Chains A and B, each alone.
Chain A
Amino acid sequence: MAALRSLQGDFCEALLSGDSTRVAEEIAGDGLSPEARLRIYRHHVFTTLTAALGATYPVTCRLVDRRFFAYAADGYIRANPPAGPCLFEYGAAFPDFLAEFPACADQRFLPDVARLEWAMNAALHAEDAHPFNAERLAAVPPGDVPRLVFRFDPSVSLLASPWPVDQVWRAHQDAAMVEAPVDLGAAGALLEVRRLDGDVVMRRLHPAEHALRHALWRGGTLEAAARAAIDRDAAFDLASGLRDLLDERILVDFAVSK
Protein backbone atom coordinates (compact mmCIF):
# COMPACT_ATOMS: atom_id res chain seq x y z
CA MET A 1 0.00 0.00 0.00
CA ALA A 2 1.01 3.55 -0.77
CA ALA A 3 3.93 2.20 -2.79
CA LEU A 4 3.47 5.00 -5.32
CA ARG A 5 3.52 7.67 -2.62
CA SER A 6 6.72 6.38 -1.13
CA LEU A 7 8.35 6.07 -4.56
CA GLN A 8 7.43 9.66 -5.35
CA GLY A 9 8.85 10.89 -2.06
CA ASP A 10 12.13 9.10 -2.76
CA PHE A 11 12.22 10.35 -6.35
CA CYS A 12 11.61 13.93 -5.24
CA GLU A 13 14.35 13.61 -2.63
CA ALA A 14 16.75 12.29 -5.27
CA LEU A 15 16.05 15.20 -7.60
CA LEU A 16 16.38 17.90 -4.94
CA SER A 17 19.28 16.56 -2.90
CA GLY A 18 21.03 14.41 -5.49
CA ASP A 19 20.87 11.43 -3.11
CA SER A 20 19.37 8.63 -5.19
CA THR A 21 20.19 5.74 -2.84
CA ARG A 22 16.60 4.72 -2.22
CA VAL A 23 15.08 5.33 -5.63
CA ALA A 24 17.90 3.96 -7.81
CA GLU A 25 16.95 0.33 -7.24
CA GLU A 26 13.48 1.05 -8.62
CA ILE A 27 14.87 2.24 -11.95
CA ALA A 28 15.78 0.05 -14.92
CA GLY A 29 19.17 1.06 -16.23
CA ASP A 30 18.73 -0.15 -19.83
CA GLY A 31 22.36 0.54 -20.70
CA LEU A 32 22.78 3.58 -18.44
CA SER A 33 23.08 3.82 -14.69
CA PRO A 34 19.86 4.78 -12.87
CA GLU A 35 21.77 7.80 -11.55
CA ALA A 36 22.55 8.97 -15.10
CA ARG A 37 18.86 8.68 -16.00
CA LEU A 38 17.86 10.62 -12.89
CA ARG A 39 20.41 13.31 -13.80
CA ILE A 40 18.46 14.02 -17.02
CA TYR A 41 15.39 14.89 -14.94
CA ARG A 42 17.39 16.72 -12.32
CA HIS A 43 19.11 18.85 -14.97
CA HIS A 44 15.75 19.93 -16.37
CA VAL A 45 14.32 20.76 -12.94
CA PHE A 46 17.28 22.93 -11.95
CA THR A 47 17.83 24.66 -15.31
CA THR A 48 14.16 25.58 -15.75
CA LEU A 49 13.75 26.78 -12.17
CA THR A 50 16.99 28.76 -12.40
CA ALA A 51 15.70 30.31 -15.61
CA ALA A 52 12.43 31.17 -13.86
CA LEU A 53 14.34 32.90 -11.04
CA GLY A 54 16.48 34.69 -13.63
CA ALA A 55 13.35 35.97 -15.37
CA THR A 56 11.96 37.30 -12.09
CA TYR A 57 15.30 38.71 -10.86
CA PRO A 58 17.09 39.98 -14.01
CA VAL A 59 18.89 42.92 -12.35
CA THR A 60 19.98 40.82 -9.37
CA CYS A 61 21.34 38.31 -11.89
CA ARG A 62 23.29 41.04 -13.71
CA LEU A 63 24.70 42.44 -10.49
CA VAL A 64 26.29 39.12 -9.50
CA ASP A 65 26.90 37.66 -12.99
CA ARG A 66 25.12 34.69 -14.46
CA ARG A 67 27.33 31.93 -13.08
CA PHE A 68 27.16 33.15 -9.52
CA PHE A 69 23.40 33.61 -9.88
CA ALA A 70 23.04 29.97 -10.99
CA TYR A 71 25.09 28.92 -7.95
CA ALA A 72 22.85 30.88 -5.60
CA ALA A 73 19.72 29.64 -7.39
CA ASP A 74 20.86 26.04 -6.99
CA GLY A 75 21.04 26.48 -3.23
CA TYR A 76 17.72 28.27 -3.15
CA ILE A 77 15.91 25.60 -5.21
CA ARG A 78 17.15 22.82 -2.91
CA ALA A 79 16.02 24.66 0.20
CA ASN A 80 12.86 26.24 -1.25
CA PRO A 81 11.38 24.18 -4.09
CA PRO A 82 8.23 25.69 -5.62
CA ALA A 83 5.09 25.33 -3.52
CA GLY A 84 2.83 25.63 -6.57
CA PRO A 85 2.93 25.07 -10.32
CA CYS A 86 2.81 28.71 -11.49
CA LEU A 87 6.38 29.86 -12.10
CA PHE A 88 5.50 33.55 -11.79
CA GLU A 89 4.79 32.82 -8.13
CA TYR A 90 8.13 31.12 -7.52
CA GLY A 91 10.96 32.86 -5.70
CA ALA A 92 9.26 35.02 -3.04
CA ALA A 93 11.85 34.02 -0.42
CA PHE A 94 14.86 34.48 -2.72
CA PRO A 95 15.73 37.97 -1.34
CA ASP A 96 15.80 36.61 2.22
CA PHE A 97 17.88 33.68 1.02
CA LEU A 98 20.40 36.08 -0.54
CA ALA A 99 20.54 38.07 2.72
CA GLU A 100 21.67 34.90 4.51
CA PHE A 101 23.89 33.62 1.68
CA PRO A 102 27.50 33.97 2.88
CA ALA A 103 28.91 34.45 -0.61
CA CYS A 104 26.79 37.61 -1.04
CA ALA A 105 27.89 39.19 2.23
CA ASP A 106 29.92 41.95 0.56
CA GLN A 107 26.95 43.08 -1.56
CA ARG A 108 24.67 44.14 1.25
CA PHE A 109 22.31 46.05 -1.04
CA LEU A 110 21.64 42.94 -3.17
CA PRO A 111 18.71 41.54 -1.13
CA ASP A 112 16.94 44.91 -1.34
CA VAL A 113 17.37 45.04 -5.11
CA ALA A 114 15.88 41.54 -5.20
CA ARG A 115 12.99 42.69 -2.95
CA LEU A 116 12.26 45.46 -5.42
CA GLU A 117 12.29 42.97 -8.30
CA TRP A 118 9.95 40.64 -6.42
CA ALA A 119 7.58 43.55 -5.76
CA MET A 120 7.57 44.36 -9.49
CA ASN A 121 6.95 40.71 -10.40
CA ALA A 122 4.14 40.45 -7.86
CA ALA A 123 2.62 43.70 -9.17
CA LEU A 124 2.65 42.41 -12.76
CA HIS A 125 0.78 39.20 -11.93
CA ALA A 126 -1.44 40.26 -9.02
CA GLU A 127 -5.15 39.54 -9.26
CA ASP A 128 -7.21 42.32 -10.80
CA ALA A 129 -9.13 44.34 -8.22
CA HIS A 130 -11.40 47.38 -8.22
CA PRO A 131 -11.48 50.34 -5.85
CA PHE A 132 -14.43 50.62 -3.49
CA ASN A 133 -17.20 53.11 -3.98
CA ALA A 134 -16.30 56.29 -2.05
CA GLU A 135 -19.94 56.70 -1.00
CA ARG A 136 -19.60 53.61 1.16
CA LEU A 137 -16.79 55.25 3.06
CA ALA A 138 -18.83 58.43 3.58
CA ALA A 139 -21.46 56.33 5.36
CA VAL A 140 -19.05 55.23 8.12
CA PRO A 141 -20.08 56.82 11.47
CA PRO A 142 -17.49 59.45 12.52
CA GLY A 143 -16.79 57.57 15.75
CA ASP A 144 -15.64 54.54 13.76
CA VAL A 145 -13.30 56.41 11.43
CA PRO A 146 -10.15 56.05 13.60
CA ARG A 147 -10.61 52.27 13.58
CA LEU A 148 -10.87 51.95 9.80
CA VAL A 149 -8.58 49.39 8.21
CA PHE A 150 -8.09 49.08 4.45
CA ARG A 151 -7.27 46.44 1.89
CA PHE A 152 -4.89 47.67 -0.77
CA ASP A 153 -4.92 46.75 -4.44
CA PRO A 154 -3.13 43.37 -4.43
CA SER A 155 -0.49 44.69 -6.84
CA VAL A 156 0.83 47.17 -4.23
CA SER A 157 4.08 46.77 -2.31
CA LEU A 158 5.74 49.35 -0.07
CA LEU A 159 9.48 49.04 0.39
CA ALA A 160 12.10 50.83 2.43
CA SER A 161 15.80 50.41 1.78
CA PRO A 162 18.87 52.19 3.13
CA TRP A 163 20.25 51.98 -0.45
CA PRO A 164 19.01 53.75 -3.60
CA VAL A 165 17.77 50.46 -5.05
CA ASP A 166 15.47 52.22 -7.51
CA GLN A 167 18.48 53.95 -9.06
CA VAL A 168 20.38 50.65 -9.13
CA TRP A 169 17.44 49.03 -10.90
CA ARG A 170 17.15 51.82 -13.48
CA ALA A 171 20.89 51.81 -14.15
CA HIS A 172 20.67 48.15 -15.10
CA GLN A 173 17.90 48.38 -17.67
CA ASP A 174 19.18 47.74 -21.18
CA ALA A 175 18.72 51.26 -22.49
CA ALA A 176 20.38 52.81 -19.44
CA MET A 177 23.59 50.82 -19.39
CA VAL A 178 25.68 53.86 -20.31
CA GLU A 179 24.50 55.89 -17.32
CA ALA A 180 26.98 56.91 -14.67
CA PRO A 181 27.50 54.38 -11.86
CA VAL A 182 25.03 54.63 -9.01
CA ASP A 183 26.36 56.26 -5.84
CA LEU A 184 25.52 53.61 -3.25
CA GLY A 185 26.27 56.15 -0.55
CA ALA A 186 23.31 58.25 -1.68
CA ALA A 187 20.20 58.36 0.46
CA GLY A 188 18.04 55.27 0.64
CA ALA A 189 14.68 54.84 -0.99
CA LEU A 190 11.10 54.69 0.27
CA LEU A 191 9.21 53.12 -2.59
CA GLU A 192 5.73 52.21 -3.72
CA VAL A 193 5.35 49.62 -6.48
CA ARG A 194 2.01 48.83 -8.11
CA ARG A 195 0.36 47.98 -11.39
CA LEU A 196 -1.52 50.80 -13.09
CA ASP A 197 -3.39 50.27 -16.38
CA GLY A 198 -1.40 47.11 -17.05
CA ASP A 199 2.02 48.64 -16.39
CA VAL A 200 4.18 48.21 -13.31
CA VAL A 201 5.08 51.61 -11.85
CA MET A 202 7.56 52.45 -9.10
CA ARG A 203 7.84 55.79 -7.37
CA ARG A 204 9.52 57.34 -4.36
CA LEU A 205 7.33 58.50 -1.47
CA HIS A 206 7.98 61.21 1.09
CA PRO A 207 8.83 59.71 4.50
CA ALA A 208 5.53 60.61 6.18
CA GLU A 209 3.49 59.51 3.17
CA HIS A 210 5.38 56.22 3.18
CA ALA A 211 4.79 55.81 6.92
CA LEU A 212 1.03 56.39 6.46
CA ARG A 213 0.69 53.98 3.57
CA HIS A 214 3.00 51.36 5.01
CA ALA A 215 1.07 51.22 8.29
CA LEU A 216 -2.26 50.94 6.47
CA TRP A 217 -0.88 48.39 4.01
CA ARG A 218 0.24 46.25 6.92
CA GLY A 219 -3.32 46.28 8.26
CA GLY A 220 -2.94 49.06 10.83
CA THR A 221 -5.87 51.29 11.76
CA LEU A 222 -6.25 54.75 10.28
CA GLU A 223 -5.49 56.21 13.71
CA ALA A 224 -2.24 54.27 14.09
CA ALA A 225 -1.20 55.07 10.52
CA ALA A 226 -1.89 58.77 10.99
CA ARG A 227 0.21 58.73 14.15
CA ALA A 228 3.06 57.01 12.30
CA ALA A 229 2.95 59.67 9.60
CA ILE A 230 2.87 62.60 12.04
CA ASP A 231 5.69 61.02 14.07
CA ARG A 232 7.73 61.02 10.89
CA ASP A 233 6.90 64.63 9.97
CA ALA A 234 4.82 66.82 12.28
CA ALA A 235 4.02 69.12 9.34
CA PHE A 236 2.51 66.29 7.26
CA ASP A 237 -0.83 67.24 5.68
CA LEU A 238 -2.85 64.24 6.77
CA ALA A 239 -6.05 65.26 4.97
CA SER A 240 -4.36 65.54 1.61
CA GLY A 241 -2.41 62.34 2.26
CA LEU A 242 -5.70 60.49 2.74
CA ARG A 243 -7.33 62.17 -0.25
CA ASP A 244 -4.43 61.02 -2.43
CA LEU A 245 -5.06 57.43 -1.36
CA LEU A 246 -8.64 57.65 -2.57
CA ASP A 247 -7.82 59.58 -5.75
CA GLU A 248 -5.18 57.05 -6.72
CA ARG A 249 -7.75 54.20 -6.52
CA ILE A 250 -5.25 52.17 -4.55
CA LEU A 251 -7.67 50.95 -1.84
CA VAL A 252 -10.06 48.16 -2.74
CA ASP A 253 -11.91 47.50 0.50
CA PHE A 254 -12.24 48.64 4.11
CA ALA A 255 -13.66 47.55 7.42
CA VAL A 256 -13.97 48.89 10.95
CA SER A 257 -11.69 46.95 13.27
CA LYS A 258 -12.99 45.81 16.63
Chain B
Amino acid sequence: MTDRRGIETGVRAGVGLRSPHVEHVIASRPAVPWFEVHAENYMGGGPAVMRLDAIRRDYPVSVHGVGLSLGTDGDLDLRHLDRLRGLVERVEPALVSEHLSWSVAGGAYLNHLLPLPYTEETLAVVAERVARVQDVLGRRILVENPSSYLRFHRSAIPEAEFLAALSRITGCGLLCDVNNVFVSAWNLGFDASRYIDALPASSIGEIHLAGHAENDADGLIVLIDDHGSRVADPVWALYRQALRRFGPAPTLIEWDTDVPELGVLIAEAAIADRISTAGTDAGGRAA
Protein backbone atom coordinates (compact mmCIF):
# COMPACT_ATOMS: atom_id res chain seq x y z
CA MET B 1 0.00 0.00 0.00
CA THR B 2 2.79 2.42 0.89
CA ASP B 3 6.54 2.39 0.45
CA ARG B 4 9.09 2.12 3.25
CA ARG B 5 8.58 5.70 4.29
CA GLY B 6 4.83 5.29 4.61
CA ILE B 7 2.55 5.40 7.60
CA GLU B 8 -0.51 3.48 6.45
CA THR B 9 -3.92 4.82 7.26
CA GLY B 10 -4.92 1.84 9.37
CA VAL B 11 -1.59 1.60 11.18
CA ARG B 12 -1.33 1.52 14.95
CA ALA B 13 -0.76 4.75 16.87
CA GLY B 14 2.74 6.22 16.89
CA VAL B 15 4.70 8.01 19.59
CA GLY B 16 6.41 11.39 19.67
CA LEU B 17 10.17 10.78 19.95
CA ARG B 18 11.68 12.61 22.94
CA SER B 19 15.35 12.92 23.81
CA PRO B 20 15.26 10.74 26.99
CA HIS B 21 14.08 7.80 24.85
CA VAL B 22 16.39 8.10 21.86
CA GLU B 23 19.23 5.87 23.08
CA HIS B 24 16.78 3.22 24.28
CA VAL B 25 14.96 3.21 20.94
CA ILE B 26 18.18 2.77 18.99
CA ALA B 27 19.50 0.05 21.30
CA SER B 28 16.35 -2.03 21.79
CA ARG B 29 14.11 -1.20 18.82
CA PRO B 30 10.83 -1.31 20.74
CA ALA B 31 7.64 -2.26 18.91
CA VAL B 32 6.46 1.25 18.02
CA PRO B 33 4.86 1.54 14.58
CA TRP B 34 6.22 5.03 13.84
CA PHE B 35 7.79 8.04 15.51
CA GLU B 36 7.20 11.75 15.11
CA VAL B 37 10.13 14.14 15.63
CA HIS B 38 10.28 17.90 16.16
CA ALA B 39 12.01 19.36 13.13
CA GLU B 40 13.90 22.05 15.05
CA ASN B 41 15.80 19.49 17.14
CA TYR B 42 17.53 18.14 14.04
CA MET B 43 18.68 21.25 12.21
CA GLY B 44 22.34 21.18 13.23
CA GLY B 45 24.96 18.52 12.64
CA GLY B 46 26.53 15.95 14.91
CA PRO B 47 25.10 13.14 17.00
CA ALA B 48 21.45 14.31 17.02
CA VAL B 49 21.01 13.85 13.28
CA MET B 50 23.13 10.68 13.29
CA ARG B 51 20.75 9.18 15.85
CA LEU B 52 17.75 10.29 13.82
CA ASP B 53 19.26 8.55 10.78
CA ALA B 54 19.63 5.37 12.86
CA ILE B 55 16.00 5.52 13.96
CA ARG B 56 14.86 6.27 10.43
CA ARG B 57 16.49 3.04 9.24
CA ASP B 58 14.12 1.05 11.46
CA TYR B 59 10.93 3.13 11.63
CA PRO B 60 8.69 5.35 9.54
CA VAL B 61 9.04 8.93 10.75
CA SER B 62 6.85 12.01 10.67
CA VAL B 63 8.41 15.50 10.85
CA HIS B 64 6.52 18.01 12.99
CA GLY B 65 7.70 21.62 12.79
CA VAL B 66 7.21 24.20 15.51
CA GLY B 67 9.24 27.08 14.06
CA LEU B 68 7.88 28.14 10.66
CA SER B 69 5.47 30.66 12.19
CA LEU B 70 2.90 30.22 9.42
CA GLY B 71 0.77 33.03 10.86
CA THR B 72 3.34 35.82 10.98
CA ASP B 73 2.63 38.76 8.70
CA GLY B 74 6.18 39.29 7.48
CA ASP B 75 8.92 37.62 5.54
CA LEU B 76 9.25 33.85 5.81
CA ASP B 77 12.50 32.81 7.46
CA LEU B 78 14.11 31.39 4.33
CA ARG B 79 17.12 29.98 6.16
CA HIS B 80 14.78 28.05 8.40
CA LEU B 81 12.66 26.87 5.49
CA ASP B 82 15.82 25.73 3.71
CA ARG B 83 16.90 23.76 6.76
CA LEU B 84 13.45 22.15 6.92
CA ARG B 85 13.74 21.23 3.25
CA GLY B 86 17.15 19.66 3.94
CA LEU B 87 15.76 17.66 6.86
CA VAL B 88 12.77 16.47 4.81
CA GLU B 89 15.10 15.38 2.00
CA ARG B 90 17.31 13.55 4.49
CA VAL B 91 14.56 11.81 6.46
CA GLU B 92 11.95 11.26 3.71
CA PRO B 93 9.17 11.45 6.28
CA ALA B 94 5.71 10.02 5.72
CA LEU B 95 4.12 13.24 6.98
CA VAL B 96 5.23 16.83 7.44
CA SER B 97 3.20 19.11 9.69
CA GLU B 98 3.18 22.60 11.20
CA HIS B 99 0.81 24.78 13.23
CA LEU B 100 -1.89 27.37 12.70
CA SER B 101 -0.09 29.89 14.89
CA TRP B 102 2.69 32.44 14.93
CA SER B 103 5.93 32.74 16.92
CA VAL B 104 7.95 35.57 15.45
CA ALA B 105 7.46 39.32 15.22
CA GLY B 106 10.15 41.82 14.34
CA GLY B 107 12.78 39.09 14.28
CA ALA B 108 12.09 37.88 17.85
CA TYR B 109 11.12 34.19 18.16
CA LEU B 110 9.00 33.68 21.24
CA ASN B 111 9.20 29.86 21.38
CA HIS B 112 5.45 29.48 21.63
CA LEU B 113 2.54 28.73 19.31
CA LEU B 114 0.75 32.06 19.63
CA PRO B 115 -2.91 32.70 18.77
CA LEU B 116 -4.13 34.37 15.57
CA PRO B 117 -7.13 36.54 14.92
CA TYR B 118 -9.23 34.62 12.40
CA THR B 119 -9.92 37.21 9.73
CA GLU B 120 -9.78 37.33 5.94
CA GLU B 121 -6.47 39.18 6.24
CA THR B 122 -4.98 36.40 8.39
CA LEU B 123 -6.33 33.74 6.04
CA ALA B 124 -4.57 35.42 3.11
CA VAL B 125 -1.29 35.63 5.08
CA VAL B 126 -1.36 32.00 6.24
CA ALA B 127 -2.50 30.64 2.87
CA GLU B 128 0.30 32.46 1.06
CA ARG B 129 2.90 31.04 3.47
CA VAL B 130 1.50 27.49 3.43
CA ALA B 131 1.53 27.57 -0.37
CA ARG B 132 5.14 28.79 -0.35
CA VAL B 133 6.22 26.09 2.11
CA GLN B 134 4.52 23.39 0.04
CA ASP B 135 6.26 24.74 -3.08
CA VAL B 136 9.69 24.66 -1.45
CA LEU B 137 9.21 21.23 0.11
CA GLY B 138 7.57 19.88 -3.02
CA ARG B 139 4.86 18.18 -0.99
CA ARG B 140 1.66 18.70 0.93
CA ILE B 141 1.90 19.63 4.58
CA LEU B 142 -0.59 19.18 7.41
CA VAL B 143 -1.57 22.19 9.51
CA GLU B 144 -2.49 21.62 13.16
CA ASN B 145 -5.15 23.40 15.20
CA PRO B 146 -3.53 25.19 18.18
CA SER B 147 -4.46 25.09 21.85
CA SER B 148 -5.68 28.55 22.84
CA TYR B 149 -5.91 30.60 26.02
CA LEU B 150 -7.44 33.70 24.49
CA ARG B 151 -9.36 34.92 21.49
CA PHE B 152 -9.33 38.28 19.71
CA HIS B 153 -12.38 40.50 19.37
CA ARG B 154 -11.64 40.90 15.69
CA SER B 155 -11.78 37.13 14.99
CA ALA B 156 -14.73 36.75 12.62
CA ILE B 157 -14.24 33.21 11.33
CA PRO B 158 -14.65 30.15 13.57
CA GLU B 159 -11.34 28.27 13.79
CA ALA B 160 -12.62 25.04 12.21
CA GLU B 161 -14.00 27.02 9.27
CA PHE B 162 -10.72 28.90 8.99
CA LEU B 163 -8.83 25.60 8.76
CA ALA B 164 -11.31 24.26 6.21
CA ALA B 165 -10.82 27.37 4.07
CA LEU B 166 -7.04 27.11 4.40
CA SER B 167 -7.15 23.51 3.22
CA ARG B 168 -9.45 24.45 0.33
CA ILE B 169 -7.23 27.33 -0.83
CA THR B 170 -3.82 25.66 -0.48
CA GLY B 171 -4.59 21.96 -0.73
CA CYS B 172 -2.87 21.42 2.61
CA GLY B 173 -4.06 18.64 4.88
CA LEU B 174 -5.08 19.12 8.49
CA LEU B 175 -3.69 17.65 11.68
CA CYS B 176 -6.46 17.48 14.25
CA ASP B 177 -5.05 17.65 17.76
CA VAL B 178 -8.03 16.36 19.71
CA ASN B 179 -6.58 17.46 23.05
CA ASN B 180 -6.11 20.97 21.65
CA VAL B 181 -9.75 21.03 20.55
CA PHE B 182 -10.79 20.03 24.06
CA VAL B 183 -8.46 22.53 25.77
CA SER B 184 -9.44 25.45 23.51
CA ALA B 185 -13.16 24.62 23.75
CA TRP B 186 -12.95 24.72 27.55
CA ASN B 187 -10.82 27.86 27.69
CA LEU B 188 -12.75 29.83 25.07
CA GLY B 189 -16.21 28.42 25.70
CA PHE B 190 -17.06 26.74 22.41
CA ASP B 191 -18.51 23.29 21.74
CA ALA B 192 -15.76 20.73 21.01
CA SER B 193 -18.14 18.30 19.27
CA ARG B 194 -19.37 20.95 16.88
CA TYR B 195 -15.77 21.93 16.15
CA ILE B 196 -14.94 18.34 15.15
CA ASP B 197 -18.06 18.25 12.99
CA ALA B 198 -17.06 21.48 11.24
CA LEU B 199 -13.64 20.19 10.11
CA PRO B 200 -13.47 18.80 6.54
CA ALA B 201 -13.13 15.04 7.13
CA SER B 202 -11.37 14.40 3.83
CA SER B 203 -8.52 16.80 4.75
CA ILE B 204 -7.58 15.13 8.02
CA GLY B 205 -4.17 13.49 7.63
CA GLU B 206 -3.22 12.90 11.26
CA ILE B 207 -4.57 13.05 14.80
CA HIS B 208 -2.66 14.09 17.93
CA LEU B 209 -3.45 13.07 21.50
CA ALA B 210 -1.84 14.30 24.72
CA GLY B 211 -2.56 15.14 28.34
CA HIS B 212 -3.33 18.56 29.75
CA ALA B 213 -3.21 20.23 33.16
CA GLU B 214 -5.82 22.20 35.08
CA ASN B 215 -4.65 25.57 36.40
CA ASP B 216 -6.44 28.01 38.62
CA ALA B 217 -6.16 31.49 37.04
CA ASP B 218 -7.76 34.11 39.30
CA GLY B 219 -10.43 31.61 40.37
CA LEU B 220 -11.19 30.36 36.86
CA ILE B 221 -10.03 26.89 35.77
CA VAL B 222 -7.86 27.17 32.67
CA LEU B 223 -6.70 24.02 30.89
CA ILE B 224 -3.03 24.10 29.98
CA ASP B 225 -1.83 22.02 27.03
CA ASP B 226 1.33 20.86 28.81
CA HIS B 227 1.63 17.34 27.32
CA GLY B 228 2.56 16.23 30.81
CA SER B 229 0.12 13.44 31.67
CA ARG B 230 -2.06 10.66 30.27
CA VAL B 231 -4.81 11.53 27.82
CA ALA B 232 -7.89 12.62 29.80
CA ASP B 233 -11.09 10.58 29.60
CA PRO B 234 -13.18 13.30 27.89
CA VAL B 235 -10.41 13.62 25.28
CA TRP B 236 -10.64 9.88 24.56
CA ALA B 237 -14.39 10.39 24.12
CA LEU B 238 -13.73 13.22 21.68
CA TYR B 239 -11.19 10.99 19.89
CA ARG B 240 -13.92 8.39 19.34
CA GLN B 241 -16.11 11.08 17.87
CA ALA B 242 -13.25 12.28 15.66
CA LEU B 243 -12.67 8.76 14.30
CA ARG B 244 -16.38 8.36 13.56
CA ARG B 245 -16.32 11.61 11.65
CA PHE B 246 -12.91 11.44 9.92
CA GLY B 247 -12.47 7.70 9.47
CA PRO B 248 -9.16 6.13 10.48
CA ALA B 249 -6.15 8.48 10.53
CA PRO B 250 -2.56 8.03 11.81
CA THR B 251 -2.74 8.87 15.51
CA LEU B 252 0.15 10.08 17.67
CA ILE B 253 0.72 10.23 21.42
CA GLU B 254 2.67 13.35 22.53
CA TRP B 255 4.33 13.84 25.91
CA ASP B 256 6.70 16.77 26.61
CA THR B 257 6.62 17.71 30.31
CA ASP B 258 7.94 15.25 32.95
CA VAL B 259 8.47 12.69 30.21
CA PRO B 260 7.96 9.17 31.66
CA GLU B 261 9.58 5.99 30.40
CA LEU B 262 8.71 5.02 26.85
CA GLY B 263 6.46 2.17 28.03
CA VAL B 264 3.94 4.68 29.37
CA LEU B 265 3.66 6.33 25.95
CA ILE B 266 3.37 2.92 24.27
CA ALA B 267 0.55 2.03 26.68
CA GLU B 268 -1.28 5.23 25.72
CA ALA B 269 -0.83 4.37 22.05
CA ALA B 270 -2.31 0.93 22.77
CA ILE B 271 -5.45 2.57 24.18
CA ALA B 272 -5.78 4.60 20.98
CA ASP B 273 -5.39 1.38 18.98
CA ARG B 274 -8.13 -0.38 20.96
CA ILE B 275 -10.45 2.55 20.34
CA SER B 276 -9.71 2.74 16.63
CA THR B 277 -9.98 -1.01 16.02
CA ALA B 278 -13.15 -1.33 18.09
CA GLY B 279 -14.69 1.52 16.14
CA THR B 280 -17.23 3.44 18.09
CA ASP B 281 -18.07 0.73 20.64
CA ALA B 282 -14.84 0.78 22.66
CA GLY B 283 -15.02 1.69 26.31
CA GLY B 284 -13.08 4.80 27.32
CA ARG B 285 -9.97 4.08 29.38
CA ALA B 286 -10.22 0.40 28.57
CA ALA B 287 -6.82 -0.28 30.08
Contact = CB atoms under 8 A, between A and B. Distances in A.
Contacts of A195: 46
A126 interface: yes
Most buried by A among B45, B74, B111: B111
Nearest to A39: B217
Given A11-B105, A41-B112, A48-B112, 15 more contacts: A3-B121, A4-B116, A25-B153, A26-B152, A28-B150, A28-B151, A32-B218, A34-B150, A41-B149, A52-B111, A84-B109, A85-B68, A85-B111, A86-B41, A126-B45
B157 interface: no
B150 A88 contact: no
Interface of B: 40-41, 43-50, 66-69, 72-74, 77, 79-80, 102-112, 114, 116-117, 119, 121-122, 125, 149-154, 188-189, 215, 217-218, 220, 222, 224
23 contacts: A5-B74, A26-B117, A26-B153, A27-B151, A32-B220, A38-B150, A40-B150, A40-B215, A40-B222, A48-B111, A82-B110, A82-B111, A85-B109, A85-B111, A86-B67, A87-B111, A88-B44, A125-B48, A126-B46, A128-B46, A154-B45, A155-B46, A198-B47
A40 B111 CA distance: 13
A107 interface: no
Contacts of B114: 8, 11, 41
Interface residues of A, number: 51
A15 to B, nearest CB: 6
Contact of B40 (A12, A37, A40, A86): A86
Contact of B108 (A37, A81, A126): A81
Nearest to A4: B73
Contacts of B116: 4
Please report whether the interface of chain B is mostly helix, strand, loop or mixed according to DSSP. Answer: mixed
Nearest to A154: B45
Contacts of B125: 4
A184 B58 CA distance: 49
Interface in A27-57: 27-28, 30-34, 36-41, 44-45, 48-49, 52
B154 A45 contact: no
A16 B243 CA distance: 40
A125 B111 contact: no
Nearest to B107: A83
A127 B45 CA distance: 4
Contacts of A28: 150-153
Contact of B103 (A85, A127, A155): A85
A124 interface: yes
Contact of B50 (A2, A3, A198): A198
Closest 10 CB pairs of A and B: A85-B67, A125-B44, A12-B105, A128-B45, A37-B150, A81-B108, A5-B73, A82-B109, A8-B105, A127-B45
A9 interface: yes
A140 interface: no
A85 B151 contact: no
Contacts, number: 142
Nearest to B19: A55
A81 B150 contact: no
A105 interface: no
Given A4-B122, A31-B220, A16 B117 contact: no
B210 to A, nearest CB: 15
Interface in A190-243: 195, 198-199
Nearest to A8: B105
Interface of A: 2-5, 7-9, 11-12, 15-16, 25-28, 30-34, 36-41, 44-45, 48-49, 52, 81-89, 124-129, 154-155, 195, 198-199
A4 B117 contact: yes
Contact of B46 (A15, A34, A39, A198): A198
A33 B218 contact: yes
A36 B215 CA distance: 12
Contacts of A89: 44
Nearest to A29: B150
Contacts of B74: 5, 8
Contact of B109 (A81, A129, A155): A81
A254 B104 CA distance: 37
A154 B109 CA distance: 24
A126 to B, nearest CB: 6
B178 to A, nearest CB: 21
Nearest to B151: A28
Given A31-B220, A32-B220, A82 B45 contact: no
Contacts of A49: 111
A192 to B, nearest CB: 17
Contacts of B112: 15, 41, 44-45, 48
A237 to B, nearest CB: 33
B154 to A, nearest CB: 7
